[in-house]
Structure 1
Amino acid sequence: MRALTWQGHQDVRVETVDDPEIINPRDAILKITSTAICGSDLHLYDGVIPGVLPGDILGHEFMGEVVETGPGSTLQKGQRVIVPFPIACGQCFHCTIEQFSCCENSNPVEKQDLTAPLYGHPLTGIFGYSHLAGGYSGGQAEYVRVPFSDVGPVVVPDHLTDDQVLFLTDILPTGWQAAEYAEIGPDDTVAVWGCGPVGLFAVQSAIAMGAAKVIAIDHYPHRLELAKKLGAEIVNFRESNVLQALMEMSGGLGVDAVIDAVGMEAHGFAADNLADAVKQKVGIGADRAHVLRQAILACRKGGRVSIPGVYGGLADKFPTGALMEKALKVRTGQTHVHKYTKMLLEKIEKGELDTTFLISHHLPLEDAAEGYRNFHDKQDEWTKVILRPGMERGTARAGQAQETQQA
């Protein structure tokens, strides 16, 4: 089959690799119909996540048609499904309390020592996201093996297009969980750093949950405009002092809840961020935590801090004093996607949520390297890229597609 493989720093290539096979009874094999490039894929592309080896297949946002099942799978051939990006067994302690991204059994035993010394516990398995997270092949390919297929995949109604439901695999539940973790009330002012895919869905979710005011912070004009169309007020951090602007917009109190949807690769020329960028570049630091520092300072006393942005290692200059003295509540973590998929699918079916506004480009899988390059370098225009195996080269198009995508 054809698949996108990681070869090194900002070097990804579509190559012919072995087809996936059923390994365990609960496995299923999907023929991919749509797969997306995620902002967190860029951390792999930039080489800031360790444990990625040449030839690894990337991609954790995908959906497709079931073409083969093991005897323990509950799926049937021909079904069209979306697949959550964290791999969860459904039976361990964490899965039984709906903490699916903390599953104890999805990271193979031989991989667990890679992260346990750093985090205190091994990571949960994630599709296409380094050997730290299990070394599973991802879905930016023609086919993919789905472990625990009796737990994660959700069958999609035929009347919904791939474009309408693909983001149930990651970024829509991530934005929703981020807003939920912010414990939004009807009188709240909420600030969201980052108008990438997760940030925009956090904005959309916060508004849906009834926030009185949502403020979106970024520097890309088009992304800020998308946030504004969703109903947010906007702050361009290259044109305004963010802390001062947020204090004014919150009546001098500070915002009730903050959402860091940026994570380890913050932009900007602040002194702390420049120092972090140098450390990250030379390998003596892992995270550029400027946004998280700023969000903690902007949050009012007794407020809430929600962190959906991905962090992978260590950061210094952390405002521990502000966190403690202001009595802030912090929630973070990879998304428990399984917990939200059916509920959010119902909202999409009812027309209460639309995700297709985010899609800027559809490309053939064969043009995936171009998609990565542009998503990385032209983030204002390339807001979200959908890859389609089987789509002919030279037929790339901008914007959402209306047809139902089936294998």
Structure 2
Amino acid sequence: MASEKIHLTTKEKSELWVEGLVTVILLLLLNFALIVMIDQMIVSDRQWASAIWTIKTTITFGGNHLWSWQNLFIIVMAVADVIVVYWRLIRRYRQMQLRHIIGELHYIAEGHLNHRIRLEVGPDMEKVVSSINALVDSAVKSMEEERKIEASKDELITNVSHDIRTPLTSIIGYLGLIEDRQYRTEAEMQKYVHTAYLKSKQMKVLVEDLFEYTKVRSTTTKLTLAKFDMAAMLDQLAASFELEGRKKGIEFDVHCDPTPLMMEADSEKLGRVFNNLIINALKYGKGAKHVYLSAEKIGSEVVVRVANDGQQIPTGSLNQLFDRFYRVEESRSQETGGSGLGLAIAQSIVTLHGGYIFADSNRELTSFVMHLPLKTGVTLKRDDKESV
């Protein structure tokens, strides 16, 4: 935005006039005092006066016009006086500018956080104004982030309360039936106990995931870094899920380039990421026949993909997959037993390593793609075109 000129008040204009007038009077008195002192010095020293007179008679500027040392002295003093008056007025004007800036700052401090100082000032004051505006921008941004954090906490509490209340209600209900002996047969009682047990496990998963999520989201979370072979890790993961995959008619396909693929990271936390992604593929990859695990070294990073050839994820849901408690299903049913925190945890862990993760889904494959630095501590920059 364009800067606005400072409009001086009547009082401030009067102050400038008084400042200028007082300065001129003081300078005239000073000049008079100097002239008197010098004149007295010349009179008291005739030899010096004679020398001055000799110089005086030798200084001629055109024609027969003769300039005395008094004329030169007066001109020099007049120039000096003009400079002093100008400096004093400029100094007072800058003080007035600063007064206006402070007034603007008080206006912002009163709660008008959208207001910015846009006064037309000199280069030095411009730095002050820019610093103040930058400070206000930073404070407003921090306040907005604080509000988002508070809103996020409220949302987290609401979602957790909802997800815990549902299984807890079932547990209390079934245990209440058993407590009141409202069952006809031993088999019916066992059914109630088994249902309460399953709901308890569901709550346990939610609490553990919630604990893990808050832990990896903390700024104080430290990674246990070590060198490991990503190719070997993916082979181990495929082997550990092979039996569960066979039950669902799903085969695992692992590919790494190069092999071995050595990198530095927290292998335990990354293992949690891959576990979450593979479990999601087995649970939600309807109609899938394959789960593909691949890792490729590209420059100073490793690109890891966990993909399946199951049902496509709707395009509108891709950007929300990593939100807490988000599920692609329209209902928040717990049929799959998930907490809705798995992908949020995965994203936080990948971010802790300085990398990023995104999802891509089409008719052929649904892929979760991670970009991780070969050596943790280097933050990768994401190219948004990759996620399209």
TM-score range, shorter chain: under 0.3
Higher strand proportion (structure 1 or 2): 1
Relative contact order, CA 8 A, sep 6+: which one is greater? 1
Q: Whose Rg is larger? A: 2
Q: TM-score, normalised by structure 1?
A: 0.21
Q: TM-score, normalised by structure 2?
A: 0.22
